[in-house]
Structure 1
Amino acid sequence: MKKLLLAAAALLPISTAQAEAPKPAALVADGIPPVPDDIPAAMRPYGESRSAVVQGWDASTGNLIIATRFANTAQLHAVAGPMMDRRQITFEAEPVRAHPSPVGGTLLVLKDTGGNEFFQIYRVAEGQLQLLTDGKSRNEFGAWSDDGKLVGYSSTRRNGTDTDLYVMDPLNPKSDRMVAQLAGGGWQIAGFSPDSKTALVQQYVSVQKSNLWLLDVRSGKLTPLGDHAASVSYGEAAFAPDGTIWVTSDEGSDFQRLGTIDRRTGRFTPRSTEAKWDVESFEIARDGSYVAYVLNENGSSRLKLLDPKTGAAREARNLPLGTIGGLEAGPDGRLAFSLSSAKVPTDAFTLDPASLQATRWTQSETGGLDAARNPEAELVEVKSFDGETVSGFLYRPDPKKFPGKRPLVVSIHGGPEGQYTPGFRGASNYLTNELGIAVFAPNVRGSTGFGKRFVSLDNGPFKREDSVKDIGAFLDRLQRDPRIDPKRMAVNGGSYGGYMCYASAIRYGDRLKAADCIVAISNFVTFLENTQSYRRDLRRVEYGDERDPAQRAKLTAISPLTSVNKLKIPLLVVTGSNDPRVPESEANQIVAAVRGNGGTAWHLVGKNEGHGFAKKENRDYQSWVETMFWRKYLLGQ
């Protein structure tokens, strides 16, 4: 009897205490309480949603290549037909991206290590990856030649900073050679002429300016295409089968239009007729019979096919409203693409160019949840401090399940050359559907998608805080909303949105309960000094040049770290140790400063992650910690 009582006593602490959720070994939870296991149990279905992102066609088999995740990272799969099984091709520990040959038989992939973005190019051979690049530098895939015998790519191999251009036959790695030695980090091979003798090259300078060049593949001679003295931005560029050069450009317009550029004179001729909204991507049929393009209309996508002979454009039919990307024209003329919406996880579709009927090829899992329950985005527009119209998307909880005023999280996108577009929200749906938290995703000034005038409104250090003031205008509007609780509002954001998260927590701390800031800039000067050298000059164009005394002083003045003594609300900071964009030091210094002032700062560090968590086990734990953070500091539970 005594032994039975002792055994029962030994079991008592375990049965009455709250069990803890296991933490992945690569994560460091600094100052974060243990996650109670009721959170992962409740959130598990929301973490099990998948996606199917179109990567291209296997011209040898007619299979569609997609990227989807069954284990910890997204890997490549082949799909033979609509709604057929996904057959896995790669089995790597890190996520991979695919670039299949246009003639079939060869599949190239890009892969980095631990999120460091030093991508290497590999050839898939019998389930193994054959390294084609040097294994050390940062490499980006450019384009295949039409005959599949040549690949163009960019690399920092020479000195770690400048991006040079290379070509190779991937079946003969010894053919690899530098074709152009260049200065700066914004160079890319966009395509090859039909005879493979000329490459079309893009030079990114800023979101408002880029240059086009023609590259003689044999000699390496670069010839300017268009007026490089003009402030013109080219989004995409490609050769058609007949040698015509197609581009998206804002020349002569506030928005990106689809058109052609004369190879001899550099003159741009618009071919799309929409007066407003950006054409954000396009794809040319392999026989040149159509040019498909995506129009971004206030965050929602419209897919159209343009007849290059007649100029007539027809719109795709029977597509759910959402965001479209990854256009890939197949050997038989079908167009593949990815589509995401509030009720559709990112999935693969094809479009028949004759009938304009769309066919869904994959139906990704949503953890057993009914995606139809997910709320649709509600467009909100406000006038900011200076009369500028800014907008965003609001997701409200079901009023029947959650009546009355609801708490709100303002979730700010990164970039700043980015745009929030309504898509499938994955684990974030848990906040709205199960906790009754409304989520608002703003597009502050400087966001793309609203024209080049709008995107320039936050340029440089002296305009930077204007975008933070936009958040104040949104808060004014949302606090007056009869279904929003003005006393329970919070903010989160990643990358540049992470800076906005810190800045909003400081400026509007009296109106916010907590802040969740992810891979965030805390000091513009130290950020610019420590971001990877290959991208430093490109970031100086956007944020300012810390080497200039006047700009350095302003960059310091507007940095969250400078005003950290005003940050009084609880803070959650999420960091990737291998982040090449916003180094870990940006998080370490603000966490130390907040704690030094007696404030609350939880710090979650991914030792095997970069600019955002890519591995499922880490993303899951991040979601659990964020839910615990919101329950404690926003909901008061």
Structure 2
Amino acid sequence: MKRTLISGALWLGLLGTTLAQVPDNLVVEGIPLIPPEFKVDIARYLEFRGAGFSSWHPLKLEMLVTTRFADTPQLHLVKMPGGARKQLTFLSEPARGGSFRPKHGDVIIFAQDTGGGEFYQLYRYDVADRKITLLTDGKSRNTGPRWSKSGQWLAYTSTRRNGRDNDVYMMDPTRPATDRLVIQVQGGGWSVEDWSPDESQLLLLEYISINEGYLHLLDVPTGRTTLLTLKTDEKFAIGSGRFAPDGKSVYFTTEVADTGAAKRSEFHVLVKVDLATRQDKFFTGHIPWDVDEFEVSRDGRGIAFITNEDGVGVLHLMNARTGKEVPVPKLPLGIPSNLEWHENNRDLAFNLHSAKSPSDVYSLDVKSGKVERWTESETGGLDPAQFVEPTLAKLNSFDGLGISAFVYRPEPTKFPGKRPVIINIHGGPEGQSRPMFQGRNNYFLNEMGVAIVYPNVRGSSGYGTTFLKLDDDLKREDSVRDIGAIIQWIKAQPDLDGGRIAVLGGSYGGFMVLASMVQFNDQLKCGVDVVGISNFLTFLKNTQDYRRDLRRVEYGDERDERMRAFLERISPANHADKINRPLFVVQGKNDPRVPLSESEQMVKAIRDHGGTVWYLMAKDEGHGFAKKKNADFQFLATILFFREHLLK
């Protein structure tokens, strides 16, 4: 491991202290050693935790949730609103997606990978004796398990055949030897959406890109498929799908406004298609926002769905027969997600988080209107009422296009004067910054007096199909120019310091950080790149096989000479000589999406040109740090970096 000496005033402030040890699983280069006293000062901000809904028990009003008591999130049972969280799994890696067996509740299926590699394996947890059994091959990537209505069968997708294509498999998980291939497919974007009520069909989603997808009906006994949605020269996005409880129709979300005429809607609408007549019924065309998710009640009478309205999530309830909305009790302002109806058709579970609260699990009694909170996650002893809520800023970019950003400002009485700014750029690229709980980032606001700006540049989801496509293909750099507009907006604000601006982002947001430091080097103080793309050509070459074609659709096909030249030109690693501001690079060794080589070549390029770069790599992580001890070290190092290179 390489370490540089701490320079200047920071070094003087640390003389005489006992330096904290660096965990053996971390590679640390250029980062000053962190003293124990520093961690004590920040400790409360390291102890936030949230909870996420996983599954209702089919026979009782109890639920599975995922939360973290130690180093990784695990499955817990909660027996009543506000009840104790009883931990069920005690594993070194995160347990993901727990689901009770329908009609029985005696078995839980969950997924787990190793070291963040995302080669998920499916496991059976037997409630009676707590025994855990591996169900899949231990090597391939296995995702999206879906129980049949009776609880006998489990369908899922796997790359087992060739490491690239997401074929469909099924098994009786109480008898793993029954595992069998149902259908071979082409592409890594296939998923199992639902079983038909009679268990003779599977509803499959073929995801091509954020702008293109197709639903298929798979006949389980024969393996034959029937295309359910349009496939024309015009491409349309398709979201999740569900069978109606009577099996006669399918619900799904799409940007198609008229499936017969192939007319496009700017936003994702909820549609029901009759399987016999192929006639459509549109439910949400009057709402000028995307339907993010939906669930149909077990008896088919009610539909719950969530719209994304300028970044804020809004829960809706609708009568499935009439299509009319019914009143919903007012929820705390935030983002609901992960809907699931109980078998009783009365209780609806969901997650909710906001600027003032980490994710917690709630339920709504749709008959009485009563909302109950099942978990209350910890905030490290800090008062959530003191956490900052954002304001929404709207501005015009370089070409007059309207873009927006959520802005978190420190308390002005505690931090008067112009405040330094972190521009935190989302990934995706079709992600979206939303008014979410800031967690550890509250330290920047409450203790360092740093404002945080979360832009939604062109190409972000949530603002319509046209806006979503504005960074496609040869328009990739226009989204980087949007960051330039954000910088100019910051400079025009009386309470923000345009001379002290940093950029931070992960994954595609990491690319945006690097590209911004190339384009706007003289206007930035520093940047933090977390698992970011540094060269699109090497990224497309080295990303996992099952992802390559999916990413080509978004970023461009490097096999085309014109596109290859363009990707070569815009790749930040080829312009490292233009970056002379300090850079902090964070990477997981096992990242299947943005491979280790992307960060290593960027670090080398910066150093070859005499630049300042801190580098942190975790040997047991993938696309971001999931283990608390690693995330703690990353956060402490990030604070040191901003204290040294942003605040001064």
Which residue number corresponds to residue 238 of structure 2? Answer: 234
Rounded Cα–Cα distance in structure 2 between residues aligned with 1:42 and 1:318: 38
Quick check: 1:65–1:76 contact (8 Å CA) kept in 2? yes
Cα distance between partner residues in 1 of 2:85 and 2:172: 29
CA deviations over 1:37-75 (Å, ceiling 9, x no partner): 333111111110111100011223321110000000000
Cα displacement (A) at 1:457: 0.7
1:157 and 2:154 correspond: no
Q: How far did 1:21 drift?
A: 2.5
* Alignment-mate amino acid for residue 241 of structure 1: P
Q: Which of the numbers 282, 301, 320 marks the counterpart of 1:289? A: 301
Partner Cα separation in structure 2 for residue 354 and residue 260 of structure 1:
24
Instruction: Classify the secondary structure of the residue corresponding to 1:362.
Output: coil
- Structure 1 vs Structure 2: percent identity of aligned residues? 47
Do 1:517 and 1:572's aligned partners in 2 also have CA atoms closer than 8 Å?
yes
Aligned pairs for 1:422-501 (under 5 A) are 422-460=435-473, 462-501=474-513
Partner of 1:257: 269
Q: What SS does structure 2 have at the residue aligned with 1:620? A: helix
Alignment pair present for 1:608 and 2:620: yes
For residues 293 and 229 of structure 2, the distance between their equivalents in structure 1, rounded to whole angstroms, comes to 20
- 1:273, distance to aligned residue in structure 2 (A): 4.4
What is the match of residue 331 of structure 2?
319
Within the candidate set 238, 242, 250, 1:245 is matched to: 250
**Structure 2 counterpart of 1:4:** none
Deviates more, 1:93-102 or 1:487-496: 93-102
CA contact (8 A) 1:241 1:286 kept: yes
Q: Which of the residues 360, 367, 372 maps onto 1:354?
A: 367
Q: Which residue of 1 aligns with 2:99?
A: 99
Aligned residue for 1:87?
86
Shift of 1:16: 6.0
Residue 144 (structure 2) aligned to one of 141, 145, 155: 141
Shift of 1:533: 0.4
Query: Are the counterparts in 2 of residues 226 and 266 from structure 1 also a CA contact under 8 Å?
Result: no
| Cα distance between partner residues in 1 of 2:279 and 2:32 | 61
Q: 1:220 aligns with which of 223, 247, 251?
A: 223
User: Which amino acid counterpart does residue 34 of structure 1 have in structure 2?
Assistant: L
1:35 counterpart letter in structure 2: I
Deviations 1:291-332 (A, max 9, x none): 100011011011011111121112421311101111111122
Deviation digits for residues 560-611 of structure 1 (CA, Å, limit 9, x no counterpart): 0111110110000000000000000000001001011110010000100000
Aligned to 2:357: 344
Which of residues 156, 171, 196 in structure 2 aligns to 1:168? Answer: 171
Deviation at 1:226, TM superposition (A): 2.0
Relative to the length of structure 1, the TM-score reads 0.96
Helix, strand or coil at the partner of 1:33: coil
CA distance in 1, matches of 2:160, 2:633: 36
The CA deviation at 1:475 is 0.9
What is the aligned partner in structure 2 of residue 109 from structure 1? 110
Which residue is equivalent to 2:281? 269
Residue type of the alignment partner of 2:378 = E
Aligned residue number for residue 8 of structure 2: none
When residues 240 and 507 of structure 1 are mapped into structure 2, their CA distance, relative to the original with a 3 A threshold, is: same
Query: 1:559: which partner in 2?
Result: 571
Q: Within 1, Cα distance between the matches of 2:290 and 2:518?
A: 34
How many Å apart are 1:220 and its aligned residue? 0.4
Q: Does residue 33 of the first structure (1) align with residue 36 of the second (2)?
A: no
The SS at the match of 2:266 is coil
- Distance in 2, matches of 1:127 and 1:466, equals 53
Confirm whether residue 191 of structure 1 aligns to residue 190 of structure 2: no
Match of 1:205 in 2: 208
Query: Given that residues 518 and 612 in structure 1 are in contact (C-alpha distance below 8 angstroms), is that contact kept between their aligned partners in structure 2?
Result: yes
CA–CA distance in 1 between the matches of 2:134 and 2:278?
38
1:464-494 per-residue CA deviation (whole Å, 9 max, x = no partner) reads: 0000000011111111100001111110000
State the partner residue of 1:300: 312
Partner amino acid for 1:141?
Answer: G
Q: CA deviation at 1:106?
A: 1.5
Report the alpha carbon displacement of residue 18 of structure 1 after superposing the two structures with TM: 2.1
- Matched residue SS, 2:161: coil
- Equivalent residue of 2:490, what SS? helix
Secondary structure, counterpart of 1:250 in structure 2 = strand
Structure 1: which 5+ residue stretches go unaligned? Answer: 1-12
8 Å CA contact retained: 1:316, 1:357? no
Secondary structure at 2:295 match in 1: strand
1:10: which partner in 2? none
3-state secondary structure, aligned to 2:245: coil
- Decide whether aligned partners of structure 1 residues 149 and 384 sit closer, same or farther in structure 2, where only a CA change above 3 A counts: same
Match of 1:74 in 2: 73
Tell me if structure 2 keeps the 8 A contact 1:39–1:627.
no
Aligned partners of 1:386, 1:275: CA distance in 2, in Å?
A: 28
Q: In the alignment, is the contact (CA less than 8 A) between 1:121 and 1:141 conserved in 2?
A: no
Partners in 1 of 2:145 and 2:472 — Cα distance?
A: 28
Partner of 2:521, secondary structure, is coil
Q: Of the candidates 368, 371, 375, which is equivalent to residue 388 of structure 2?
A: 375
Residue in structure 2 matching 1:420, options 430, 433, 437: 433
5+ residue gaps, structure 2, are 1-11, 258-264
Q: Name the structure 2 match of 1:512.
A: 524
Q: Would the aligned equivalents of 1:227 and 1:266 in 2 still touch at CA under 8 Å? A: no
**2:432 and 2:116 mapped to 1: Cα distance?**
22
Residue correspondences, number: 623
Alpha-carbon displacement from aligned partner over 1:484-530 (angstroms, at most 9, x marks no partner): 01111110000000000000111111111000000000000000000
Would you say the 8 A contact 1:39–1:628 is kept in 2? no
In the alignment, the residues of structure 2 paired with residue 452 and residue 265 of structure 1 have an alpha-carbon distance, to the nearest angstrom, of: 29
Query: Is contact 2:64–2:99 with CA below 8 Å preserved after alignment?
Result: no
The residue type equivalent to 1:245 in the other structure is V
Please name the residue that 1:631 is paired with: 643
Contact 2:429/2:508 (8 A) holds in 1: yes
Distance 2:273 2:20 in 1: 57
Which one-letter code corresponds to 2:35 in the other structure? P
- Partner Cα distance (1:233, 1:49) in 2: 36
1:146 partner amino acid = K
* Structure 1 residues 42 and 265: alpha-carbon distance in aligned structure 2, compared to 1, 3 A threshold: farther
Residues 348, 364 of structure 2: 8 Å contact kept? yes
Residues 244-286 of structure 1: per-residue CA shift (max 9 Å, x gap)? 2111111021100112023245444211243311000011111
Cα distance change of structure 1 residues 266 and 21 upon mapping to structure 2, 3 Å threshold: farther
Instruction: Name whichever of 308-317 and 576-585 sits farther off.
Output: 308-317
Query: Partner of 2:301: helix, strand, or coil?
Result: coil
Paired residues of 1:383 and 1:390 also in contact (CA < 8 A)? yes
Instruction: Tell me what 2:124 maps to.
Output: 123
Tell me the SS of whatever aligns to 1:356.
Answer: coil
CA RMSD of aligned residues (A): 1.4
Structure 1 outlier segments of 4+, above 4 Å: none
| Distance in structure 2 (CA, Å) of the matches to 1:275 and 1:82 | 33
Contact 1:283 1:292 in 2 (8 A): yes
Q: Is the Cα–Cα contact under 8 Å of residues 142 and 191 in structure 1 kept in the other structure? A: no
Deviates more, 1:364-373 or 1:100-109: 100-109
1:409 to 422, 427, 431: 422
* Alpha-carbon distance between aligned partners in 1 of 2:21 and 2:491, rounded to the nearest angstrom: 38
For 2:180 and 2:208, the matched residues in 1 are separated by 25
* Conserved? CA contact 1:458–1:467, under 8 Å: yes
Which deviates more, 594-603 or 354-363? 354-363
Report what 1:8 is aligned to.
none
